Structure 1
């Protein structure tokens, strides 16, 4: 059985984690907590991280414990100058175009932010769609329900025909538990929570071409 659907994370996956964009978004999240919700500044960093770990995202934690409008939050935290951090990436576009399966963004951000990122990278036409945090509400990655919704939206009922690429081991671990094959982006060494790991997008086509099933042994760099 061959894969039919590729789910790819957005932030810190399609662009280098060290470029500073996610750090800026993280600061916008903390600013929202301080200024919109009145949470004392001294507890904001710890609370944001605790919600991320307990609820999957800081947003889901804030929704559970405060009166938070999801769209207001998403618009606020993603109001950042992407042009200062992202540029067209024709090499990445060529790699994605060389993989002849449907590709979807699967992100805990919102579709508007995802579309802006894809446009700045010049790869928006590579994707069949975007599965965002609004689409999977009230869930989010790494919750199993989020993966079920993502597959339903992509029209692929068989998780064995899906691949998830993400930079967080907790997401690849959850994807594997849901029956998807999972690739961890951002490190070259094998990881126990993923079927394979890679740190260079140019390696992806060969990695996928070596796969004719859904067991870890079919992957290889």
Structure 2
């Protein structure tokens, strides 16, 4: 390993990725179909007024992070698994195609690689399988990770306590608060872009945000990640957004982002827009 590679690894130990519309382009149409399924669920299963649903769906998403989190906060009672099956189970996964370029790139990089998604584990598994990216990530932080059932929470408590001592980058009080909140099963759903969701992910996965690059297509998620100390990259954009260190037209620009970090470091204002490489298809936003 040469001096350049050592320098890059010293500044970045982990790559943390959003999944939907980040690992694949928005042009696949899954986002639109997901939104349609959520609205149908609100009408068919929760018996909400159809004409009010589109507006309410957006408002809840904006205020609570996800429409599902907003519905729970308003007191609607429904089974989490049923919601996810209805919303994700009918998506056109056939629109997702294997991405051997991304797979080769991910497997060639020595950093830990993880996914942080608000979606459920079944959806994450389907997406990674269709993209041909199974085995490329060390861990997946998903809905069930941050919002375990009471049975799962009990079995996971020892794991969380064990990881508390590994979080040297986080003070003891914040680590304890995150773990206790998970065990208490707070009725509020934990999800991006809340700072609490990022802190819980840091503690559970034992990652140091100061040595991690976070990739996401959502400007508000990027802003939250920046507040807690991550180096950040907005994906699928041609312009920087507040809190973003990089604007990455294509997820295939991971290596270029690492190069910029190596050359400038976090002590400088990086703010680089990385165009798609010639062999890539730009992510549409």
Q: Under TM normalisation by the shorter chain, which class is it?
A: over 0.9
Q: TM-score, normalised by structure 1?
A: 0.93
* 1:152 correspondence with 2:203: yes
Spell out the pairing of 1:14-33 with structure 2 (5 A cutoff).
14-33=23-42
CA pair 28-81 structure 1, distance change in 2 beyond 3 A: closer
User: What is aligned with 1:210?
Assistant: 260
Larger Rg: 2
User: What is aligned with 2:151?
Assistant: none
Partner of residue 137 from structure 2, selected from 127, 131, 147: 127
Partner of residue 237 from structure 2, selected from 187, 205, 210: 187
* 1:64 correspondence with 2:73: yes
Give the number of aligned pairs.
220
User: What is aligned with 2:225?
Assistant: 175
- Asked whether the equivalents of residues 37 and 86 of structure 2 are also in contact (C-alpha less than 8 Å), the reply is yes
User: What is aligned with 1:48?
Assistant: 57
Q: Secondary structure at the match of 1:115?
A: helix
- Asked whether the equivalents of residues 208 and 219 of structure 1 are also in contact (C-alpha less than 8 Å), the reply is no
| TM-superposition CA deviations, 1:13-41 (whole Å, max 9, x none) | 11110221111111111111010000011
| TM-superposition CA deviations, 1:136-181 (whole Å, max 9, x none) | 233100001111111122222x320122110010000000001111
CA pair 102-146 structure 1, distance change in 2 beyond 3 A: same
Gapped runs of 5+ residues in structure 1? none
Q: Secondary structure at the match of 1:211?
A: helix
Q: TM-score, normalised by structure 2?
A: 0.73
Deviation of 1:219 (Å):
6.0
Q: Secondary structure at the match of 2:42?
A: helix
Moved more, 35-44 or 85-94: 85-94
Gapped runs of 5+ residues in structure 2? 1-9, 148-188, 275-285
Spell out the pairing of 1:69-84 with structure 2 (5 A cutoff).
69-84=79-94
- Asked whether the equivalents of residues 210 and 219 of structure 1 are also in contact (C-alpha less than 8 Å), the reply is no
User: What is aligned with 2:20?
Assistant: 11
User: What is aligned with 1:136?
Assistant: 146
User: What is aligned with 2:211?
Assistant: 161
